[in-house]
């Protein structure tokens, strides 16, 4: 078993790499319009009610057709997961880990294909898509190593006459509800963490990215993961998802998505149902209103680069994206003079074309919501960049910067999830931290300053789950920067970290009494001494 290392990204500036990607894009496009089944206990199921996944870069172009699961189908999935759990729970940690290593290797072989799916179904540019696949691979490798570590158990103090140990056992059936914005990485991370610990899974992907989820199910089958360990259920969350969250046999829910949906899950899971014999566990990551502070003693050029990438990478559709830029008044003009030209230089368009940095937002509801927030921002502050739909046949919006925003303004407080950046002036570093903490969220933040005392103050006082010093606030790496936030950003689950798998297991302490030592042993020892 090789030591864990994060995957390197593909270099698309190399002609040979670009040709492979172009070939993969063509292959995926040739598969558009196919119909995909629900998969329960290895059986493929098709229903009367269906829905489509669309290409956000080309309105109306159907990626694929999927089944709308109902409560009856959800109950079938629960039955299959419960039945499989009876045997899967006793499968060795080594066997479970090996499945994750296999999945990782298959994804390496299918990497360009998976990249292409995200470009076309999600609107991610090539590098963002490749980073998503790399993270998915990292999750598999990392959690495989981690479950083997947990399998050894912790070291306990000895007690005379007893053997004491603590073991970790699985919870049961888990409902995995991943988001659309990291349709492979987060989906793979939550799903593999669940079943590598001995649980079985009902996977309910987002209806905005079911095609990529279907490809993951192909990989699950290709790796020969036993049927029923992962059950694939597509459709609206309000029908199948709510039913399973409330189900008395559901043991845990792993969710990533909006604050509103996350709080609804917490509320529903907290109410014990008839026949329920446990407290359901909820692992939730619910978004953010992330910030970058640029201090008067910062490296301005570095901060400009970091702010641009954090705010407009993947159209700002990341829970870690910078949507609040807090600038010390002393460097405000200098920073903005350098920053705005870099934003205006961003190329927007179909990301099937490598030269386009920013693609479409995910769908029409998101498009309309973001434009409405831009309208609100115009009334609260001053628009100095973007603010309009971008020409094209997709859901394109220009990268937008709104200045003169104050802490009480809506675009300072509310999550927009799009390419909209609110800029606020701070009187000094202390005021900047005060502004940073003025939020119900607490996911990520970055602080740019050369002053060591200010760095230490930021480490103590900026209240976020992931704090970055002199670098962008996006791009957490598995095993290096465990990811999860405070307050309304979720349960601080720290995905990709050494504590994460504990959320999918329960500890069992076992004490075995050995009795008193036999006198025979003592007499044997004394006879040996006499002989000597």
Burial string for 36-46 (b: 16+ CB within 10 Å, else e) reads: bbbbbbeeebe
Check 135, 285, 415, 473 and give the catalytic one: 285
Q: Active-site residue 319, yes or no?
A: yes
User: What is the DSSP code string of 319-366?
Assistant: TT-EEEEEEETTTHHHHHHHHHHHHHT--BS-TTSTT-SB---SSHHH
Q: How does DSSP classify residue 273?
A: P
Q: Residue 98 in 3-state DSSP? A: helix
Q: Among residues 24, 54, 29, 57, which one has the least CA distance to residue 349?
A: 57
Angle at 242 between CA 497 and CA 71, to 5 degrees: 125
* Side-chain-side CA neighbours of residue 381 (13 Å): 26
Instruction: Compute the distance between CA of residue 334 and CA of residue 196 in angstroms, rounded to an integer.
Output: 51
Q: Active-site residue 285, yes or no?
A: yes
Burial string for 159-176 (b: 16+ CB within 10 Å, else e) reads: eeeeeeeeebebbbbbbb
Q: Residue 442 in 3-state DSSP? A: strand
For the chain, state the CA radius of gyration: 26
Dihedral angle over CA of 19, 20, 25, 26, nearest 10:
70
Q: Residue 13 in 3-state DSSP? A: coil
**Could you tell me the CA-to-CA distances from 302 to 50, 309, 321, 446, 470 in Å, in that order?**
48, 11, 17, 12, 8
Cα four-point dihedral sign 513, 516, 521, 522: positive
Angle at 380 between CA 374 and CA 383, to 5 degrees: 55
Q: Is 293 exposed, middle or buried (0-12, 13-18, 19+ CB in 10 A)?
A: buried
Q: Report yes or no: 290 and 444 within 8 Å, Cβ to Cβ.
A: yes
Q: How does DSSP classify residue 316?
A: G
Sort strands 50-54 and 62-67 into parallel, antiparallel or unpaired.
antiparallel
CA 391 to chain centre: 31
Beta bridge partners of 232: 39, 203
Q: Residue 165 in 3-state DSSP? A: strand
Check 140, 319, 322, 385 and give the catalytic one: 319
Residues classed as catalytic: 285, 319
């Amino acid at each position: 078993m090789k030591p864990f290392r994060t995957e390197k990204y593909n270099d698309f500036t190399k002609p040979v790499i670009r040709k492979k990607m172009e070939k993969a894009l063509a292959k995926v496009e040739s598969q558009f319009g196919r119909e995909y089944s629900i998969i329960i206990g290895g059986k493929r199921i098709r229903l009367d009610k269906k829905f489509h996944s669309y290409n956000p870069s080309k309105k109306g172009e159907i990626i694929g057709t999927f089944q709308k699961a109902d409560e009856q189908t959800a109950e079938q999935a629960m039955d299959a997961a419960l039945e499989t759990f009876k045997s899967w729970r006793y499968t060795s940690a080594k066997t479970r880990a090996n499945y994750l290593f296999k999945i990782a290797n298959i994804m390496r072989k299918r990497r360009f294909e998976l990249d292409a799916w995200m470009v076309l179904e999600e609107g991610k540019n090539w590098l963002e898509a490749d980073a998503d696949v790399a993270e998915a691979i990292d999750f598999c490798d990392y959690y495989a190593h981690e479950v083997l570590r947990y399998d050894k158990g912790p070291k306990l103090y000895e007690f005379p006459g007893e053997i004491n140990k603590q073991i970790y056992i699985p919870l049961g059936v888990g409902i995995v509800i991943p988001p659309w914005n990291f349709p492979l990485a987060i989906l793979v991370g939550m799903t593999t963490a669940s079943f590598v610990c001995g649980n079985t899974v009902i996977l309910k992907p987002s209806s905005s990215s079911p095609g990529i989820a279907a490809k993951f199910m192909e990989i699950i089958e290709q790796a020969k993961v036993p049927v029923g360990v992962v059950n694939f259920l597509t459709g609206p969350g309000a029908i199948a998802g709510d039913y399973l969250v409330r189900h008395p046999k559901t043991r845990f829910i792993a969710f990533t998505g909006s604050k509103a949906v996350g709080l609804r899950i917490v509320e529903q899971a907290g109410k014990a149902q008839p026949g329920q014999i446990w407290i359901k566990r909820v692992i939730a990551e619910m978004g953010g209103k992330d910030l970058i502070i640029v201090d008067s003693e910062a490296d301005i050029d570095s901060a400009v680069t970091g702010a641009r990438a954090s705010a407009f990478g993947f159209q700002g559709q990341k829970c870690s994206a910078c949507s609040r830029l807090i600038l010390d008044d002393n460097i405000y003009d200098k920073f903005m003079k350098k920053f705005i030209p870099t934003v205006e230089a961003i190329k927007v368009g179909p990301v099937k074309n490598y030269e386009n940095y920013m693609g479409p937002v995910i769908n029409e509801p998101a498009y309309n919501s973001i434009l409405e927030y831009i309208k609100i921002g115009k009334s609260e502050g001053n628009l100095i960049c973007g603010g309009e739909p971008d020409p094209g046949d997709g859901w394109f919006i220009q990268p937008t910067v709104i200045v003169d925003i104050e802490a009480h303004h809506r675009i300072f407080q509310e999550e927009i999830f799009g390419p909209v950046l609110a800029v606020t002036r701070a009187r000094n570093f202390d005021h900047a931290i005060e502004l940073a903490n003025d939020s119900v969220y607490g996911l990520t933040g970055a602080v740019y300053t050369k002053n060591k005392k200010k760095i230490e103050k930021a480490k103590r006082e900026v209240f976020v789950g992931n704090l970055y010093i002199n670098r962008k606030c996006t791009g957490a790496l598995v095993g290096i920067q465990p990811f999860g936030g405070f307050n309304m950003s979720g349960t601080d689950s720290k995905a990709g970290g050494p504590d994460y798998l504990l959320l999918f297991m329960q500890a069992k302490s076992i004490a075995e009494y050995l009795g008193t030592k036999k006198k025979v042993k003592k007499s044997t020892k004394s006879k040996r001494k006499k002989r000597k």
